[in-house]
Every structure is written in C-alpha cells, then in structure tokens.
C-alpha cells in the first residue's frame, strides 16, 4: 500500500459525523505522527468540507458517498466505516474485497440477517475487521479486567451493570436523533449497549448461554405530553421553563460554549441563530413527547454464562449522568466501580467488619475519597477523550496494527476483532426477541 512503512498510517474515513469526523478523525489531528486522514466520504457538503480542510485532504479524495470512495484502491492503508447503522455491511464488504483492513463502528449490523451476511464476507479475512467496542480499550475497564484476573475477590459469581444514558443524551440520540426508530437504525440495546454486552463477556470469560430481557417505551409517548406543550419547543410551549427536555434551553443556552457534539450534530452553523434555525427545521427542536420514536427508554437484561456466572444489565434514559457504574461480586470480595469518577473500589470480605444486625457496618465514604483499610481504591487517573479514553485506545491500537501489517509483519487479531465481537451482537438480538416475545432465549 505504501513504501513509507515508518510514516503515519493513512486512513479513509467513511462518514464524518460524531464518530467518524470528530472522535476518530479528531484523534488523527492530535496524533499526526501515528495517522492521518487522506480520504473522506460524507454526503453533507459543509461537513465534508470542514473535515477535509482540517486534514488537508486533496479535493479528488473528498467523496459524497462510500461507493465512490471505494470504487477503486486509493492512497490509504485502512478504512474506517462510521456510516449510519444500516449502512455498515456493504462498505465493509467492499473494503475487504479491495484488501483493506477495516475499523467498523458498532453495531456491526442492524439485523441478524445482515450480520450473517457480514460473517460470510469476513470469513476469508480473519482478523481484518476491528469493531469499535471501545470499552475494552478504556483504562477503567482494563483495570477492572486485570483486578479480576489477579483474583482479588476470589471466584466471580455475578455482575450488576448500569448504563446511565443520561436524560439529555437519550432525548438527543434516541428520541429526536438518528437512533429514534429501530426500523431506521437498530434496537436500542444493540445501538447503545452492544459494547456493554461485549465488555461483560470479556470480564466473565465464558460464553453466553441464556438471555431474558424486559423493557418498553414508557415515557416518551404522545399521551404523556404535558398540557400546553407544543409541537416544537420554540413554539411558545407553556411548560418550557419546567420541562427538562426543552431543546432551546439545552442546545442554545446550556451548551452555548460547545462547538462540537452534540450541538455540531444538529447544525453546521453554531451561532445562536444557526442553532435556533435547526430547532425550527429539524427533529432536534421537536417536543420529545410528539416524535415518532419507538425504541425502549428503560430496559433490564438478565444474562447467564456457561460457567454459571450471571449478570444484569440495566440501560436507562432516566439518569442525570451519561456514564456507567458496576458492581462485581466474588466469593471473597466485591468491586464497586464508577466509570465517570474513574474509581474502582476493591473490598475483601476478610478485611471488613460484617454488617450484622445491631453491629455497625463499615463506614462508607464517597468515591471521590480514597479509602483504606476495608480494601483499596484503584486510581485510574485523569482520562482524556471519549468513552473514558476508549476511543483513543482503540485508534492507537488499530493504527499500530495497521502499521505492522503495512510493513509485512504478522499481527495478532485485535481485542475487538470481528470474530471476538460476534457474541455480543447475537446476545443483543436474543435480548430483543426476549423483550418482544416474553421468552427466555438460549444461545
């Protein structure tokens, strides 16, 4: 692909939205010695121009769609597929056909049939597709995985994991945004939490065997629209001052200083006037109770693994923070984690005073205070970048592997190689069947 094996990896980015244009291409700007964007495919002309200019992409390598970009080989070493969910399979298949390695944004496919098709396409190129299951690359989850491997809490028994989507993030992405309908994108659990399912599988280190799931669209429904609310938040809504989902307050006032996502998702014109124009013209200004969304807003999934470990995964819109918390229970202790705070508290039962009736238990302190005595706190430290450093870790790993392959050296498959990531998607599809049909699904 190139004779300059020591130079930065050259990337074709398909899709210049929040993931392709900001997270992945943005990493290249911060790490120019590691990678640079030499091609871009994006239907939005202004976004295509902005990303192309930022990376000095030559005009002939700025494409309006992935088909034109992959019509023939180009001056790049690998391809990043960050197109909308339902257009992941075809560009990945074409890139593999041309001999490129691919970094594929999750979910890999939106339906079981599409995933089967991708399995057939990828079978002759094992290890060529890296899936953006960024949690495996985040320092927080890598530390948790290490602590389990070191046996600090004995034999693993169960996990309780909560993904707090955040009320504002759910309204932005799953009520007004690109993932508001499963027939246009993916079921919510697949779109939002397939990498949580992948992370749980990684921590437990055993295959999924059974899944059951419960949830529905409970709140963001037309019948829950407050009296006096309007079709758009800027149409004189009578409850604008009290509604937590007021789009004008969120995009124009609270995020006034924000120049990137989520504001950059709704408009290319980030001025107050441009933001308000978007609220008048796009779904991002519509009342959250008057949309045509159909995806679940609160879902609980129970999981059983072949080694007998069980886990629960709760994914909810109704939280303040956009973050995750986890409790890992072992035979000899427990680990309590807060990804937003970057702390992992390890408690060993032998070192604690039992909380027997009438006997005071161990005093608990907030996670922002380092505890001693009853266990220890793993200090993750300051993490810069999206997904707790997972985006940066993924890009660093993918570009390093691409550089090795470009030099003709044999490279092991990535931690989130396509083959490794399949199980999380099958589990997500099983959970959706369970939720819809009231069944227990066996994998």
d(CA 121, CA 211): 27
Beta bridge partners of 442: 210
Give the model confidence (pLDDT) of 144-184 as tens digits.
999 999 999 999 999 999 999 999 999 999 999 999 999 99
Nearest Cα residue to 330 out of 346, 306, 341:
346
- Look at residues 285, 310, 338 and tell me which one is the last residue of a structural domain: 285
The percent of residues above 70 in pLDDT, for the chain, comes to: 92
Instruction: Render the burial of 228-237: b for 16+ CB within 10 Å, e for the rest.
Output: ebbebbeeeb
pLDDT for residue 185 is more than 80: yes
Domain tally for the chain? 3
Nearest Cα residue to 313 out of 209, 192, 207, 420:
192
User: Based on the domain organization, do 272 and 205 belong to the same domain?
Assistant: no
How long a stretch of residues is the chain? 443
Three-class secondary structure of residue 50 per DSSP: helix
Where do runs of H (alpha helix) occur along 150-232?
Answer: 167-170, 188-204
Among 232-246, 368-382, 393-407, which stretch is predicted with the lowest mean pLDDT? 368-382
Nearest Cα residue to 171 out of 225, 245, 282:
245
Nearest Cα residue to 331 out of 89, 152, 186, 199:
152
What token pair was written down for 196? 């949580």
- Classify residue 194 by burial, with Cβ atoms within 10 Å: 0-12, 13-18, 19+: buried
**Residues 300/215, Cβ–Cβ less than 8 Å:** yes
- Look at residues 246, 268, 285 and tell me which one is the last residue of a structural domain: 285
In this structure, is residue 403 part of a structural domain? Answer: yes
- Residue 389's pLDDT is 83
- CATH number for 123: 3.40.50.720
Give the model confidence (pLDDT) of 209-220 as tens digits.
999 999 999 999
How open is the CA angle 218-222-228, to the nearest 5 degrees?
Answer: 125
**Residues 19/105, Cβ–Cβ less than 8 Å:** yes
In this structure, is residue 193 part of a structural domain? Answer: yes
User: Based on the domain organization, do 114 and 227 belong to the same domain?
Assistant: no
The domain of 243 spans: 222-285
pLDDT for residue 367 is more than 50: no
pLDDT-based confidence at residue 65 (cuts at 50, 70, 90): very high
User: Based on the domain organization, do 301 and 210 belong to the same domain?
Assistant: yes
- CATH number for 192: 3.30.360.10
User: Based on the domain organization, do 198 and 71 belong to the same domain?
Assistant: no
- Residue 347's pLDDT is 87
- Look at residues 261, 285, 309 and tell me which one is the last residue of a structural domain: 285
Instruction: Render the burial of 384-414: b for 16+ CB within 10 Å, e for the rest.
Output: ebbbbbbbbbbbbbbbebbbebbeeeeeeeb
User: Based on the domain organization, do 198 and 299 belong to the same domain?
Assistant: yes
DSSP assignment of 311-336: EEEEEES--SSSEEEEEEEESSEEEE
Task: Give the phi and the psi of residue 215 in degrees, each rounded to 5.
Answer: 165, 165
- Classify residue 99 by burial, with Cβ atoms within 10 Å: 0-12, 13-18, 19+: exposed
For strands 208-216 and 441-442, give the pairing.
antiparallel
Give the model confidence (pLDDT) of 287-306 as tens digits.
999 999 999 999 999 999 99
β-sheet with 101-104: strand ranges across:
62-63, 35-41, 9-14, 78-81, 101-104, 129-131
User: Based on the domain organization, do 18 and 57 belong to the same domain?
Assistant: yes
């Amino acid at each position: 692909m190139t004779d300059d094996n020591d130079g930065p990896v050259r990337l074709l980015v398909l899709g210049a939205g929040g993931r392709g244009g900001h997270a992945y291409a943005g990493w290249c700007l911060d790490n120019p010695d590691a990678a640079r964007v030499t091609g871009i495919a994006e239907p939005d002309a202004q976004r295509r121009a902005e990303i192309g200019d930022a990376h000095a992409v030559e005009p002939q390598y700025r494409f309006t769609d992935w088909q034109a970009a992959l019509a023939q080989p180009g001056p790049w070493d690998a391809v990043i597929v960050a197109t909308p969910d339902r257009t992941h399979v075809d560009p990945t298949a074409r890139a593999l056909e041309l001999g490129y390695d691919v970094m594929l944004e999750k979910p890999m496919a939106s339906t079981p049939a599409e995933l089967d098709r991708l399995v057939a396409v990828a079978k002759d190129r094992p290890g060529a597709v890296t899936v953006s299951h960024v949690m495996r690359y985040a320092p927080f989850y890598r530390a948790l995985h290490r602590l389990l491997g070191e046996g600090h809490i004995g034999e693993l028994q169960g996990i309780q994991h909560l993904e707090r989507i955040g009320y504002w993030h759910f309204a932005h992405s799953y009520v007004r945004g690109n993932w508001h309908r499963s027939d246009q994108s993916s079921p919510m659990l697949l779109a939002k939490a397939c990498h949580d399912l992948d992370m749980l599988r990684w921590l437990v280190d055993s295959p999924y065997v059974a899944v059951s799931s419960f949830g529905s669209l409970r709140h963001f429904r037309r019948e829950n629209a407050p009296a006096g609310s309007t079709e758009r938040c800027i149409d004189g809504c009578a409850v604008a001052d009290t509604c937590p989902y007021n789009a004008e307050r969120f995009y124009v006032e609270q995020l006034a200083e924000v120049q990137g996502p989520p504001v950059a998702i709704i408009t290319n014109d980030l001025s107050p006037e441009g933001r308000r124009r978007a609220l008048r013209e796009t779904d991002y200004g519509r009342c959250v109770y008057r949309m045509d969304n159909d995806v679940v807003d609160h879902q609980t999934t129970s999981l059983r693994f072949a080694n007998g470990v069980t886990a629960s995964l709760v994914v909810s819109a109704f939280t303040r923070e956009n973050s995750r918390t986890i409790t890992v229970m072992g035979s000899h202790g427990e680990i309590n984690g807060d990804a937003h705070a970057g702390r992992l508290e390890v408690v060993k039962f032998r070192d604690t005073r039992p909380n027997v009736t009438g006997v005071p238990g161990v005093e608990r302190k907030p996670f922002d205070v380092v505890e001693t005595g009853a266990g220890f706190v793993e200090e993750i430290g300051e993490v810069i970048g999206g997904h707790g450093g997972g985006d940066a870790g993924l890009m660093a790993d993918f570009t390093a592997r691409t550089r090795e392959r470009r030099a003709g050296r044999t490279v092991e498959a990535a931690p989130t190689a396509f083959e490794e990531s399949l199980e999380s998607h099958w589990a997500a599809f099983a959970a959706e069947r369970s939720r819809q049909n009231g069944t227990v699904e066996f994998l």
